[in-house]
Amino acid sequence: MVSLGCPKALVDSERILTKLRSDGYGLSPDYAGADVVLVNTCGFLDSAKEESLEAIGEAIAENGRVIVTGCMGNEADVIRARFPNVLAVTGPHQYEAVVGAVHEAAPPVPSPFVDLVPEGGLKLTPRHYSYLKISEGCNHRCSFCIIPSIRGDLASRRPDAVLREAEKLVAAGTRELLVISQDTSAYGVDLRHKAWPWKGGEVRAHMTDLARELGRLGAWVRLHYVYPYPHVDQVIPLMADGLVLPYLDIPFQHAAPSVLKAMKRPANEAKVLERLRTWREICPDIAIRSSFVVGFPGETEADFQYLLDWLDEAQLDRVGAFRFEPVEGAAANALPGAVPEAVKEERYARIMEKTAAISAAKLQARIGRTLDVIIDLVDDDGGATGRSKADAPEIDGEVQLRDTAGLKPGDIVPVLIEDADDHDLFGVPLQAA
């Protein structure tokens, strides 16, 4: 480590080294014994910048494998113009990116005898699927939601940091990456969709670019919390090409324009129906899941019937419904036209009956088809539970399997679908058919 500049930069160097030491790295006293050299630069004055450039040049001459960080990292173009062979350039306080670059340049050797944390981190989900958070917060101000007051405005992670985490998860056994945030479609807006170096090229902080790169890691990639912004259209061809699962989780919340307006949601339900048709033309197997609120303040019987008619046209694959509940601090609490609890219950029952019928018809159409299924649980009696590409864990349906000898959680196998009910499929692996 070559650390230049002020005491704040020295603290940054200490934090980086502390994390690297916890990952099993040692600190070399000289260039010759180092697998990689970190240069923490200063960019406050021109003289400091020149000193930083000289330090980078010395490190390249003496070792050749150099990662640059610190204040001058904000001028990556200047550094790369003079030293095109540096392995990575990051700005100040970007500890995760620096550590990720070191891992890529000199991968740590995991040891079950000394590592306190297993490769891929501690998990609360099964080994074969992992949630991948790409941002925090939200820029929307929906009247029923208090997320922005709790988590703040949108704050996206750098795409290279997200991809490095995804690589580690896949290397540790993850077969399915579930991309989550408060608003996945808005990913990178706060970063102005800036591009970062990645694998000899660049990747933008943009949902489409991130989805494409994640799809190249070899795992299933499932997109959650996707608002139907126009650029979502660009993701559908990635699904048709097999890079991303043909699945979108879109929180429509309602369809009646007056209710959407009261919710402070976009009221473009007609355009949404048109786009759903276009998406299905491009990717016929696409599964759309959504959630809806019934009994929102001011919702009339006509509004609710509008929603049911819209669902008949939309033919969504998976639907969840919620009865409106006041949330402390939400603007919707002050809206007039509170819906009686008995009416909420009656509307909830009607929407669930409607969506169950749509789901049953769609699942009946899959009988006789062969679908790829990821195995979640294997029983002692030769059965197993899995999910198709249209099913997210714990919120969608399942595929119940028979004759599954030899299968284990995380396996992805072709399954012949033999039967279906309102929400689940039943089948047999082709190896046993």
Query: Kindly report the CA angle at 414 between 409 and 417, in degrees rounded to 5?
Result: 105
Residue 210 burial by CB count (10 A; 0-12/13-18/19+): exposed, middle or buried? buried
Strands, sheet with 88-89, edge to edge from the N-terminal-most edge strand: 2-3, 37-41, 66-70, 88-89
How distant, in Å, are the alpha carbons of 34, 199, 357 from that of 101?
Answer: 15, 11, 51
- Give the separation between CA 267 and CA 270, rounded to whole angstroms: 9
User: d(Cα 280, Cα 293) in Å, to the nearest integer?
Assistant: 25
Q: Which residues of 73-93 are buried (b: 16+ CB within 10 A; e: fewer)?
A: bebbeebeeebeebbbbbbbe
Cα 90 to chain centroid distance, Å, stands at 23
- Could you tell me which residues are annotated as the binding site? 6, 42, 71, 138, 142, 145
Distance of alpha carbon 68 from alpha carbon 94, whole angstroms? 11
Q: What angle do CA 171, 175, 179 make, to 5 degrees?
A: 100
Residues facing 133 on adjacent strands: 180
Strands 425-429 and 412-420: antiparallel
DSSP state at residue 338: P
Which segments are annotated as binding site for [4Fe-4S] cluster? Answer: 6, 42, 71, 138, 142, 145
